[in-house]
Structures are given as structure tokens and as C-alpha cells.
A and B are shown apart, each in its own frame.
Chain A
Amino acid sequence: MKKSRIGKNILTVVFTILSACWILPVLVVLMNSFKGNTFVKTATFAWPTGDMFVEWANYVKGMTFGNYPFLKSVSYSVVITILGTFLILLCTSMAAWYIIRVDSKICRICYYLFVFSMVVPFQMVMFPLAKTADTLKLNTPWTIPIVYLGFGAGMATFMLAGFVKTLPLEIEEAAEIDGCGPIRTFFIVVLPMLKPTLISVAILEIMWIWNDYLLPYLVLDRTKYMTIPIHIQYLQGSYGQVDLGAIMALIIVSIIPVIAFYLLCQKYIIKGVAAGAVKG
């Protein structure tokens, strides 16, 4: 008994060190976001003191670096993520319920097509998709959620349909007898029961859309709209004078909401990941 307690204490120490190492890269970025450009390269792991320390200059510079306001990219990222997730949850939960409850031949074909789309990599459709989206004017932050609904419908519908199958029919029948039409039955009775799976799906969609690079890069009208990943890639990849200090500051600015979101919704995120993995 005593031996195992010592063993556990050693494990605690080992894991304290290991998890400190795990968050170290983020701390290094934070440290470098207060250094001048040249020092990021030459003294990456030094504490920002003396000549190196530039206070908030990198943050101030980063906001307008590359002739595009960073906060504009942040707000487009927020708009696309919220609209996209909301649209996916609303539409796919309705579709999943319809497919399972009606269960006609067309429904089954749709279901198999949705499952099939889950194994198709984005590179397969990206070239025609970019063109189609452009023609249909889906190239703005307010319309790109439709593209996300289209490409993300597969997994969301699949996960939700799996849950709808387990719901008891009797409750919906009771609602029907009490005079609810399909619309009221769905929104008042079914949707609240779907809540746990909706949260899991929402988490997975938020993580996907917020961090997605290639889809918005190809679909959005880049002269007007950028998202955070596009902005950072643009500054680092093609903008002539790379200022690493400013980029580190922008990385910190873009990570902070993510970390806050993570710490607030940790329980749901971990549940969502486990649920998504078992099904997908």
C-alpha cells in the first residue's frame, strides 16, 4: 500500500514536469511576443529584458500589420464560426430527424450519401467547389456558412441520426395526439431531447470552422475578407517583410479566445471529442 503511494507521488511529479513541457511552446510564444523582431530569431528562449523588451509595440504593430486590420479578420472568423455552427446544428438536426422518422427510399439514399461524404478529403472537391461557390456568391462571411453546411452535413447528420434512432417514438406520438404538428413536435419535443448530441456536434464544428484554413482561403473573396488563419499565413508566407515579433503577438491574440473557450467548456469539449471519435 505504502509502496504504491510513493509510486503515485513519483508519477505526479513526472506528470507535472511533462505537462509543464506541454504548455511550454505557448509560453515561449508569449515571451517572444514582447521581443523585437531580430531577437525572436537570435535569442528565442531568453527572457525579454533590456534591449529585447519592446512592451506592447508588437501588439500595436500587429493590429494593422500587412495593411489589413487584424481585428477585422477576428470578427470575420467569429461571424463565420457562429453562423456556420448555428446553421449546421439547425439544418442537420431537422434533416436527421426527417431521415430517421420518414425512412423512405430517398431518405436512405441521402443517409448513405452523407456517410460517404465523411471519407472524402477536401482536396478532391476543392477546385470545382471554389468555382461553384464563387458563381453562387457564397464568397462572403455571411454566405460561406452554406458551404460549411454542405461540406460538413455528412458528419453532423450521421451523429445526430444515430441519436434520433435511440429516442422513444411514444413521446412524439403523445405530442401528435395532443395536437402538435410536425414543426411543433420537432422544435418543442425532439430538439430539447437532442441537446447532448447537439453540444458534441457544436464543439466539433466550432473547432473545425474556427481553425479551418484552406476552405475559406479558396472560397472567400480574399481582397475583402480574411479569417485568422488566412491572415497569419498571409503575413508569414507572402508579405515581404516578416516581423516575427508582431506575428507572435497576433498568435497570442488569436489563441486567447480559444484557451478561454476551452477552460469554460472543457467538460463538453472532452465529451464531444470522445463521442465524435466513437461514431466517426
Chain B
Amino acid sequence: MAKQVRSHGSATNSKMMRRSIQKWAILFLVPTLASFVIGFVYPFCKGVYLSLCKFTTTEDATFIGFGNYVKAFQDASFVHAFWYTALFAVVSVVLINLFAFLIAYALTQGIRGSNIFRTAFFMPNLIGGIVLGYIWSMIFNGILSRYNTNILMETKYGFWGLIILMCWQQVGYMMIIYIAGLQAVPEDMLEAAKIDGASRAQTLFRVIIPNVMSSITVCLFLTLTNGFKLFDQNLALTAGQPYVFKEGGTVVKTTEMLALNIYSTFYGQNVHARGTAQAKAVLFFILVAGISLIQLRATRRKEVQQ
């Protein structure tokens, strides 16, 4: 009886509480919501609208329909940036995750100095993209100058340079996530595998990897979206150089990735290309959001299985 009364009282109480909190929306919710509208909702909607307009500033926009999108697809530099970014993303995903997993696996074997190694590997993550770019451009140029060349001379230097840079930066980050996953593998499962006479490789592939699948999914998608969204490092390391001049006056910046391509279309010489730039930005958003949605579905399915 007493219990019943209490639970009944609690229900009314929480309803009352809810109502008394609700009165304070102006303090609790409005500051965040107002900034969110200024910093995200309004610019997002305006961006979608502008992509269908001809404009040089946000004020002189006139509606023209899908012309900007047609122009975006016809732009050789944009198409090149898309394939270049996709290639970069795939190569960096494979290398970063391979290294990060191997390092995490080795560092969870209880070797001496694991914590110091972990500290060292994670360190580059705290350095910003612009600074990272200039650190590595100095190093690459120091090496390449011996062969009388530099990183801006050839596309392959720029590509692999950026891959090395991104590995240096991100391996430590992904390693942290993999270590968290590896430490959560149940001890008794490993014990059981040992008793059953499983080899090291068998334990790794049959016991450990299936148990850290959720970490692997998270890392794969994090590196994939990071690869697609990369901007600062790209700008600081090569800024798209070397350029190729095509017939008809189009310039293809051979190491330019999508985000940088959008940026340079917006703020380049030709202010009339801004509509095209906004259309590219919408396409870019759809691409990145699409990848994230696939990730969400992949992780959901995993959770259901568990």
C-alpha cells in the first residue's frame, strides 16, 4: 500500500517537475537554440536556396533552378577533385586502420612502456591541420631537395605526402579507439581459446576481431568521413599544386580535394562561380551525409545482433 502511494506520488511529482522546468525554456533552451539557428539552421536553408540561384553576394540572388548543378557536374576540376578525394579516402582508410589496429594490438599485450608509446602516437592529434601541413611540407621538401625537386612538382608527391601526413596524425586517434575495444574483450573468452589450444592467429581472427567489430566500424567510418572532409592539411601542404591547364582555359588543380575545390570556387577570382560553388557544397553535403547514414545503419544492425 505504502509503495503504491509512493509511486503514484512520484508520477505526479515528475509531471509537476516537468511543467516547472518547461516554464524556464527561455533560460535553458533558448540560448542554444538561438545560436543554433544563427550558426546552422539559417545558413543551411539559405545555402540550399542559394544553390538554386545566380548570385555574387547573399543579397543579389535571383532564382535560376538547377543550372548551378549542371555547371558543377560539367566542371572538370570538380570531377577530378571527387575522384582524387575518393582515392585518397580509400587508401588512407586502409593504411590508417591497419597501422592503428596493429599498434593497438601490440600495446595491449602488456609490453613494457605501453603508456609512453601510446602518449607518443597520440601526440600529433593535438596539432592543428595548418601547422601539420607546414611541418610536413618542410620535411618533404628537405628530402626532395636532394633530388632537385619539391612536393609541388608532381601529383604523386602531393598524394603520398598527404597520406603520410594523415597516417601520422590519425593513427594515434584510431589506436585509442581500438585499445578501448580490445580491452573490452572478455577475459574468459581469451582464456577459453587458450585452453582449447587455439593459436595466436586463430585467437586474433576468431575471437578478438569479432569482438571488436563495433570499434572497427566506428574507425572505418571516422577515417572515411575525415578523408572526404579534409581541408586544412590539403591547403597547407600543396594547396592543389601542381596545376594542369586544359584546352578552353580550365585549370585542374591535381592535388585539390573536394572541400578545397568548393572553397576556391567560392573565393576565387571568378565571383560569378559562387552559385556553382554552393551547388557543389550541397552535393558534397549529400555525399558526406550519405556515408554517415550508411554508418548509422551498419552500427544499428550490429547492436541488434548483440
Contacts and interface: CB of A to CB of B under 8 A. Distances in A.
Are the chains A and B members of one assembly? yes
Interface of A: 8-9, 11-12, 15-16, 18-20, 22-23, 25-26, 28-29, 32, 40-42, 44-45, 91-92, 94-95, 97-99, 101-104, 107, 110, 113-114, 117-129, 131-133, 136, 138, 146-151, 153-154, 157, 169-170, 172-173, 176-177, 181-183, 186, 207, 210-214, 228-229, 232-233, 236-237, 244, 247-248, 251, 254-255, 258-259, 261-263, 266, 269-270, 273-274, 277-278
Contacts, number: 290
B149 interface: no
B238 to A, nearest CB: 12
Interface string B129-152: 111001110110111010000000
B138 A124 contact: no
A259 B111 CA distance: 25
A181 B36 CA distance: 27
B128 interface: yes
B28 A94 contact: yes
A102 B112 contact: no
B119 interface: yes
B83 to A, nearest CB: 18
B168 A22 contact: yes
Contacts of A121: 229, 259, 281, 284-285, 288
17 contacts: A22-B121, A22-B124, A29-B135, A95-B29, A107-B29, A123-B259, A125-B43, A128-B44, A131-B58, A182-B17, A213-B231, A228-B128, A232-B134, A251-B134, A255-B131, A259-B126, A262-B122
Contact of B32 (A15, A95, A126, A277): A95
Most buried by A among B21, B36, B110, B263: B36
B13 A25 contact: no
Contacts of A214: 231-232, 263
B176 A274 contact: yes
Report whether over half of chain A's contact residues are helix, strand or loop; otherwise say mixed: helix
A101 B20 CA distance: 11
A173 B121 contact: no
A150 B37 contact: yes
Contacts of B278: 127
A147 B34 CA distance: 10
Contacts of A254: 131
B177 A12 contact: no
B306 interface: no
A92 B32 contact: yes
A215 to B, nearest CB: 10
Contact of A124 (B41, B282, B293): B282
Nearest to A254: B131
Contacts of A127: 43, 47, 50, 58, 266, 274, 277-278, 281
A205 to B, nearest CB: 13
B189 interface: no
A244 to B, nearest CB: 7
Given A129-B43, A146-B39, A124 B13 contact: no
Contacts of A278: 177, 180, 218
B285 A183 contact: no
B145 A44 contact: yes
Contacts of A29: 135, 138
B250 interface: no
B138 to A, nearest CB: 7
A86 to B, nearest CB: 13
A26 B36 contact: no
Given A28-B139, A169-B14, A150 B38 contact: yes
Contacts of A150: 35-40
